[in-house]
Each structure stands twice: as C-alpha cells, then as structure tokens.
Amino acid sequence: MAENGIFVKIDEYRDVVDILNLTKDKIKEAKDTLEKVQHLKAQEDAEIESWHAEIEEAERRVSFLDRTLYDLENS
C-alpha cells in the first residue's frame, strides 16, 4: 500500500508553525503565572496560620488572666 503525502502551501505551513509556537509560549506563560499564584497562596496561607496562632495565644492569655482575677476575687 503506497502512502500518500500531504501537500501544504509553505506560507500556510509557516503560519501554522507560528501559531503553534505562539500557543506554546502562551501555555508557558500561563504555567509560570500559575506557579507564581501558587507561591503567593502558600505565603498567604502561612501568614493566615500565623495570625490564627497569635489570636489563639492572645485568647489563652486573656483566659488565664480572667481565671486569675476570678480566683483573686473569690479568695
């Protein structure tokens, strides 16, 4: 069985190659942007976790002071 070749005008071939290269560039840009967003999100999550820990620590201290004052009041 003989294989038939596909003939394409050179101008059209170059256009397709240019479009494919542009598409690959845009995909790389999108991946780079997504990586930056993921990095920023990780930093944001770490900051929020830190704030949460600080609030819990403040809550523990206030609770301790509240118990201490209550104990002093009732002794």
Name residue, tokens 């620590």: 57
For the segment 12-23, what is each residue's pLDDT rounded down to a tens digit?
889 999 999 999
**Res 2: pLDDT:** 57
State yes or no: pLDDT of 3 exceeds 60.
yes
CA distances from 60 to 7, 30, 43, 48, 57 (A): 77, 45, 26, 18, 5
State yes or no: pLDDT of 75 exceeds 90.
no
State yes or no: pLDDT of 73 exceeds 90.
no
For the segment 52-66, what is each residue's pLDDT rounded down to a tens digit?
999 999 999 999 999
Alpha carbon 4 to its chain's center: 49
For the segment 24-39, what is each residue's pLDDT rounded down to a tens digit?
999 999 999 999 999 9
